[in-house]
Structure 1
Amino acid sequence: MRQKFDEFSFQTTKIAKKMHLFLSRNLADLQVTPEQWTILNIIHQKAPISQRELAGLSEKDTPTVNRIIDVLQRKNLVIRETDAVDRRKTLLSLSDKGSELTRILQETVEEACKNMFAGFSEQDLQTFATLLNQIENNIE
Structure 2
Amino acid sequence: MSDEESLLAVEREVALMFRRGRARVAELSRRVHPELEGMAYSMLGYIEQAGRVRVTDVGVHFAVGKATVSRQIRALEELGLVARETDPLDRRAALVSLTEDGRRRYLVARDVRMRRVRELLGSWSPEDVDRFAVLLHRFNDVIGEPPAE
Shorter-normalised TM range = 0.7 to 0.9
Further displaced range: 81-90 or 32-41: 32-41
Residue 41 (structure 1) aligned with residue 60 (structure 2): no
Q: Give me the whole-angstrom Cα distance separating, in 1, the residues matched to 2:113 and 2:131.
A: 21
Worse-superposed segment, 116-125 or 9-18 = 116-125
Counterpart of 2:27 (choices 25, 28, 42) is 25
Greater relative contact order (CA < 8 Å, ≥ 6 in sequence): 1
What's the counterpart of residue 13 of structure 1?
15
Number of residues of Structure 1 aligned to a counterpart in Structure 2: 138
Distance in 2, matches of 1:94 and 1:68, equals 14
Q: CA RMSD, aligned part only?
A: 2.6
Deviation at 1:55, TM superposition (A): 2.6
Unaligned 5+ residue runs, structure 1? none
* Unaligned ranges ≥5, structure 2: none
Poorly superposed stretches of 4+, deviation over 3 Å: 22-30, 133-140
- Using structure 2 for the length normalisation, give the TM-score: 0.73
Does 1:52 find its partner at 2:56?
Answer: yes
Letter in 2 for 1:84: P
Identical positions, percent: 21
Show the counterpart of 1:78.
Answer: 82
Distance change (3 Å), C-alpha of 1:138 and 1:25 = closer
TM-score with structure 1 length normalisation? 0.77
1:135 to 128, 133, 139: 139
